[in-house]
Amino acid sequence: MSVTTPPEVLPAAGDPCWCGSGRKYKRCHKPLEGRVIPGVVSPMRTVPEGIVKPSYGDTGTVARWDEPKIKSPEVIERMRYACDMAADILRMAGEFVKPEMTTDDIDAFVHEETVRRGAYPSPLNYHGYPKSVCTSLNEVICHGIPDSTVVNDGDIINLDVTCYVNGVHGDTNATFPVGNIDEESKLLVRVAEECMWKGIEAVVPGQPLSDIGRAIENHAKTHRMGVIRAFIGHGIGEQFHTDIQVLHYYDARNSMIMRPGMTFTIEPMISLGTWQHKMWDDDWTAVTADGKRTAQFEHTVLLTETGVEVLTANGAVSPSAPWKR
């Protein structure tokens, strides 16, 4: 991704575009001024010998199997370790982000931190995804590919970190301010994090998954913000994504009953405008259809007999409800 850098004096709408494409400015870069556009993607990073890879690590082809929805105590313990690692790397990556670095610099940092700990960065080569972290900037909803984009003061950026270690995945993400951001962006980031926690508070054994989407959507609506519908939370364990689907908006058809031992992600994407999206030609990067900013937060959770344990919380708890474990 790269942010356009037009000249100080812009051409008239009907004049040739400043980029040299030969197209009229109004048909070329005028609609994109201030938007995020694709940058140059560096070669895929390598993982040292000895680090165990998931099924797709070498080929990009994801093996699927009928993984149990209810995890065994042994799998849960392994997931706690992977999730704690992912949470720690995400925290460090957020502290690492500074104006004037590139999103590829962030990828290099996350990659090195992951392999240094003996883990595999789960996004790497997943269905061919070329990088070790997702870096989603401003209006990019999710799955932004790290590249030559320069991150600027005033931007917001979501970092999505997943670690594969001891045969399981731990998945988490958060949106970070870059330098000084405007008040509207501050509110967006705050509401997005609150929406995630509202969804987590709705995790109750014996209740349908739709309760999560209802709680998230209700909170977003109170702030007149949109909930992206095309991308959802997912089951997770020995596979990066399993067949548990967690919608972030209310739909009665999302009726699977939550049961102790289930593990899945809650990761609402909240926008300042529309919930609709557009896809880039890379088939990964999703952006808001109206170009307005979006923010996201994600935790991996475990249902317990009495409520929920947030495996990627690194000690954090909901700011508004008594905690259940």
Tens digits of residue pLDDT in 58-81: 999 999 999 999 999 999 999 999
Q: How many domains does the chain have?
A: 2
Any domain includes 206: yes
Residues 107-127 have a mean pLDDT of 98
Q: Are residues 97 and 225 in the same domain?
A: yes
Strand partners, 309: 302
Same domain assignment for residues 150 and 264: yes
DSSP string of 194-206, one letter each residue: HHHHHHHHT--TT
If asked whether residues 26 and 83 sit together in one domain, one would say: no
Q: Does 145 share its domain with 218?
A: yes
Residue 319 resides in a domain: no
Q: Which tens digits make up the pLDDT trace of 129-138?
A: 999 999 999 9
In tens, the pLDDT along 201-251 reads 999 999 999 999 999 999 999 999 999 999 999 999 999 999 999 999 999
- Same domain, yes or no, for 212 and 304? yes
Is residue 90 located within the same domain as residue 18? no
> Could you tell me if 182 and 108 lie in one domain?
yes
Q: Which structural domain range is residue 11 located in?
A: 1-34
Phi first, then psi: give them for residue 10, nearest 5 degrees.
-85, 150
Among residues 107, 132, 70, which one has the least CA distance to residue 305? 70
Q: What is the pTM of this model?
A: 0.90
pLDDT for residue 323: 34
What's the pLDDT score for residue 319? 54
Percent of the chain with pLDDT over 90: 85
Q: Is residue 325 part of a domain?
A: no
Q: How far apart are CA 123 and CA 173, in angstroms?
A: 13
pLDDT at 262: 98
User: Same domain for 166 and 217?
Assistant: yes
Residue type, 245: Q
Q: Is 63 exposed, middle or buried (0-12, 13-18, 19+ CB in 10 A)?
A: exposed
Res. 324: pLDDT tops 70: no
- Buried (b) or exposed (e) across 69-88, using 16+ Cβ within 10 A? bebeeebbebbbbbbbbbbb
Identify the DSSP state of 262: B
CATH number where 274 lies: 3.90.230.10
**What does pLDDT average to over the chain?**
93
Helix axes 210-222, 183-201, angle to 10 degrees: 150
